[in-house]
Structure 1
């Protein structure tokens, strides 16, 4: 029985919404973030990744980073760029890229539900990233980046969406990447009661993206005894609306072997066809090396959902035995490329010599994600890439008021 509660949002005045909101902190490296803040000086990235506003000699995890984030946050409130909503509310968040539209509910979920497994996860988290988000949340006394959740399809929740999104939005803008962001505020009593009661009818909610932020919220709740610290910000979408793209892999060397040697070894476990595939599908991988594409088809089926994931098959059947990547969470020779960059991005990394080989994967499905979570298993890292991305800074859950 998940808790899904309305909250007093801290949010930008409408005239600032587009300029203030930003893509999540982990989309940018430090140099990209610095360029983004120069271009968009009001950007919430100044708070979400404050090291981009500090000299390079200051390490990403230096205490001054979090002090700087708090100063920027305080300034945004004092300048009334950010203001408090007067009543507890739910919100609808609609994203559209012109071909795909999804609408989710924004509210607060319970740390206790997360700790007890009612909110289910499917990834391990990295201690360094946990520490970063814990210190960030503590410094601001606020949850600023919403956790992306999925819930099973629900006709009553769909009805609320169809009624509420006919009302005037509080925000509506198209960001530079072409994604339209629209947010509606819900204060009508009957709709609010339906939202809370319908979420309580679900057995579980599922983290789609934001494992580190969820784990950080749990740790902060143990450190901060403010009542609202036991809740954290989330946007929950029906699982049939979320759009997952492939999360691809690139490796910086061929582990001391030639391309022909690598192909010979892979052919013992896969059927190899020169060129890109005419269609992608589960258990079909595409490999780019030395300016050539190869299609790798895998025929074997494994008994568990986790072992049958394409990301697991690639790891177990290629990356570990043939390229020496034992732990993709810690090995510096492997990098991950989100689906938005696609084939061209993979080719560029290999052709410019940054990486030696790239693997293009078919997307993991929401059904697979939920099945892994329900089995209390953990996917390999970077198994899912969700598009379009939520913007940070549009709705903030403070616990200092």
Structure 2
């Protein structure tokens, strides 16, 4: 059964939240980062990019300590404040496309992570887990919540809707044209009721944030060993999460771009494809797959539809049935020679929000030789793979919502 707890968030004052909140650092171009650091002294980017103060690029362990310094300065200057009571935080996002996401920011249990009550569907890289663990250990806080999902629960929905009748603590719109709302819930009776509802939910599923949750688990193990008076109630036994119902989850596909045909001529490649797929040349007609096990391919200025020959492909488990896995086992690995999907420099990924027009553009430019379009993974597929203890290929899902960093901060 899932355990979540309220916490005393460190968060920006109401007048600064729209200036402080930032997207994930990796989502900005270098020019965007520069302009925000130059023009907005309150941006959370100043904390995660502390070298800007010295006009110097700083990395590694030296950067970790400076991140902590910038964070403390924001607190000292009154840009951040900390809630006096442990709270849950109802968070709602209405994005530029009109999609709405509503959930609860809370602290989730690392013990649940270890016990597989919090289920994973994606592999992680050990070195990234370790680096992130050391980073968080030094800075002492989480500023970016792990996205967890659960089956829709009418009782929880009712509580959330009731809280949202009140004036939000925050209401701000970003330059990205997303509107964010936050309600602070610190009533003890309501907190208890929310916890009891989650305690009846058999499992939570990681939608986004596998490395963040894994590093939090490793950090808890480290700090437990270092603390002779460990009780299990310490803040390091939890990590900040944003819990949303499955119906609010929006999953996009990741399309695949490959730089060459692995030494094959176009006709050779098509003949080899014909062994596993029924192929139709669609010419210049924009083709996007509409069924599972159907794929779009763009090659040499033309679109193709690829329909899996089911008598040639055996499905033994939930992973075998996943389109990203089918593409890997039938094309990327045997024909194009791509075995390591994470590290092979010949393959890149384009999330589905960019659509196949982007795939067409970069291939026509000569940067890539062939591109493949897939359907998005469904929530049911994600859950089945997690339930069977399997892991998706990397870049199988691009999931929204994406929370802003710095709106709520969880300290260890």
**Category of TM-score, reference length = shorter chain:** over 0.9
Cα separation, 1, equivalents of 2:199 and 2:80: 31
Q: Which runs of 5+ in 1 are unaligned?
A: none
Cα separation, 2, equivalents of 1:2 and 1:395: 22
| Cα root mean square deviation, aligned | 2.2
Cα separation, 2, equivalents of 1:28 and 1:133: 20
Cα separation, 2, equivalents of 1:30 and 1:126: 25
Q: Which residue is 2:324 aligned to?
A: 311
* More off after superposition, 247-256 vs 236-245: 247-256
Q: Which residue is 1:203 aligned to?
A: 202
Question: Which of 88, 96, 100 in structure 1 is aligned with 2:94?
Answer: 96
Distance apart, 1:348 and its partner CA? 3.1
Judging changes above 3 Å, is the alpha-carbon distance between structure 1 residues 118 and 282 closer, same or farther for their aligned structure 2 residues?
A: same
State whether residues 12 and 20 of structure 2, in contact with CA within 8 Å, keep that contact through their aligned partners in structure 1: yes
Judging changes above 3 Å, is the alpha-carbon distance between structure 1 residues 340 and 56 closer, same or farther for their aligned structure 2 residues?
A: farther
Cα separation, 1, equivalents of 2:289 and 2:92: 30
Larger Rg: 2
Q: Which residue is 2:113 aligned to?
A: 114
Matches within 5 A, 1:171-320: 171-225=170-224, 227-275=234-282, 276-277=286-287, 280-300=290-310, 302-320=315-333
Distance apart, 1:332 and its partner CA? 1.9
Judging changes above 3 Å, is the alpha-carbon distance between structure 1 residues 37 and 317 closer, same or farther for their aligned structure 2 residues?
A: farther
Give secondary structure in 2 for the equivalent of 1:322.
coil
Question: Which of 344, 354, 359 in structure 2 is aligned with 1:341?
Answer: 354
Distance apart, 1:28 and its partner CA? 4.4
Judging changes above 3 Å, is the alpha-carbon distance between structure 1 residues 54 and 183 closer, same or farther for their aligned structure 2 residues?
A: same
Give secondary structure in 1 for the equivalent of 2:257.
strand
Distance apart, 1:351 and its partner CA? 2.7
Give secondary structure in 1 for the equivalent of 2:367.
coil
Q: Which residue is 1:69 aligned to?
A: 67
Using the size of structure 1 for normalisation, the TM-score is: 0.92
Distance apart, 1:261 and its partner CA? 2.4
Q: Deviations over 1:226-273 (max 9, x none)?
A: 710111000111112111011121122221123332222212211222
State whether residues 30 and 52 of structure 1, in contact with CA within 8 Å, keep that contact through their aligned partners in structure 2: no
Q: Deviations over 1:116-149 (max 9, x none)?
A: 1111111111123213321221121111110000
Q: Which residue is 1:358 aligned to?
A: 371
Q: Which residue is 2:4 aligned to?
A: 4
Q: Which residue is 1:143 aligned to?
A: 142
State whether residues 143 and 409 of structure 2, in contact with CA within 8 Å, keep that contact through their aligned partners in structure 1: yes
State whether residues 148 and 234 of structure 1, in contact with CA within 8 Å, keep that contact through their aligned partners in structure 2: yes
State whether residues 101 and 401 of structure 2, in contact with CA within 8 Å, keep that contact through their aligned partners in structure 1: no
* More off after superposition, 212-221 vs 69-78: 69-78
Using the size of structure 2 for normalisation, the TM-score is: 0.90
User: Is 1:22 aligned to residue 35 of structure 2?
Assistant: no
State whether residues 21 and 44 of structure 2, in contact with CA within 8 Å, keep that contact through their aligned partners in structure 1: yes
Cα separation, 1, equivalents of 2:174 and 2:46: 18
Give secondary structure in 1 for the equivalent of 2:319.
helix
